[in-house]
Amino acid sequence: MGLKYRRILLKLSGESLMGPQGFGIDSLKLQHYAIEIESLVKLGAQVAVVIGGGNIYRGLQAVESGIERVQGDYMGMLATIINGIALQGALEKCGVYTRLISAIEMKEVAEPYIRRRAIRHLEKGRVVIFSGGTGSPYFTTDTTAALRANEIDADILMKGTRVDGIYTADPEKDTTATKYDKLSFANVIKQDINVMDMTAFTLCRENDVPIIVFDINTVGNLVGIVQGEEIGTLVS
């Protein structure tokens, strides 16, 4: 079966790595993501990943702890590098070749971000894990994902979440919430749908990069989307 999307950027939240324990990295979740990504690589897809750091540290916590916002954001960026190393290890256990790239220079651990080199890794079939955010404070990992998706000319930005798409309200709190199959960028911005931040949505809208929001925890969803199945919510 042919691939609808050849080069993808997968956005994973740090929280998605926590599993039931509510903090840190759950080994079963990590293994699940590695197996799902491995199945994409076997199909011949080029895969880049941006991972958050919310399971270890959130910049918003900094306000409560008296840490300045900028310092808190840098702490969050370092948390994404920890998650990137964990995902790299899990993927390499599956026999997948990877490159960990950091926007914050850390040469003993990760390569610095050089756009052409990152694209070359993808062309050679390596999974590229982007960590360290954008390298600047005040930007979320959603914005990082949108930025990197545009920079590497990704066909799609796939945001893996705990729910199977975008709803009229939070389905975990409102049982009457209904799911959107498709949405335009204009509607997302007009309705102030906060499944990703507005900077990320705007960046993708300006450069015609579609976004799919889907349930990352369901086995086979990643492969299904790349092969053209209608899974999750498509924003275009």
pTM of the entire predicted model? 0.94
Quick: pLDDT tens for 120-171.
999 999 999 999 999 999 999 999 999 999 999 999 999 998 888 999 888 8
Check: CB of residue 49 under 8 Å from CB of residue 127.
Answer: yes
Task: Tell me the one-letter amino acid at 169.
Answer: A
Give per-residue pLDDT as tens, 188-233: 888 888 888 889 989 999 999 999 999 999 999 999 999 999 999 9
pLDDT of 39 higher than 80: yes
Looking at residue 61, its pLDDT comes to 59
The mean pLDDT value for 61-82 works out to: 84
- Residues 200 and 149 sit within 8 Å (Cβ to Cβ): no
Which residue has 């005040």 as its token pair? 138
Output the six-digit token pair for 137.
């404070």
Considering only residues 114 and 71, tell me which one the structure prediction assigns the higher pLDDT. Answer: 114
Residue ranges of domains in the chain, CATH in brackets: 7-235 (3.40.1160.10)
Is 235's pLDDT higher than 90? yes
User: How far, in Å, are 2, 32, 34, 97 from residue 91 at the CA level?
Assistant: 24, 10, 5, 8
Crossing angle of helices 198-206 and 141-151, rounded to 10°:
10
Two structure tokens written together for 214: 């889907």
- DSSP state, 107? T
Per-residue DSSP letter, 17: G
Q: pLDDT tens, 3-33?
A: 999 999 999 988 888 888 878 899 999 999 9
Residue type for 230, please? E
Of 159, 96, 90, 85, nearest to 129 by C-alpha is 85
pLDDT value for 19: 80
Which of 148, 117, 184, 167 is closest to 49 using CA atoms?
A: 148
pLDDT of residue 213: 94
Q: What is the predicted pLDDT for the residue at 22?
A: 76
Nearest Cα to Cα of residue 128 among 8, 3, 214: 8
pLDDT at 122: 98
With a cut of 70, say whether residue 59 has pLDDT above it.
Answer: no
At residue 69, the pLDDT reads: 86
Q: What is the β-pairing status of strands 233-235 and 182-183?
A: parallel
Does 84 have pLDDT greater than 70?
yes
Q: What is the pLDDT of residue 60?
A: 53
Structure tokens at 126: 């390596």
Q: What is the DSSP string of 159-190?
A: EEESSSSEESS-TTT-TT--EESEE-HHHHHH
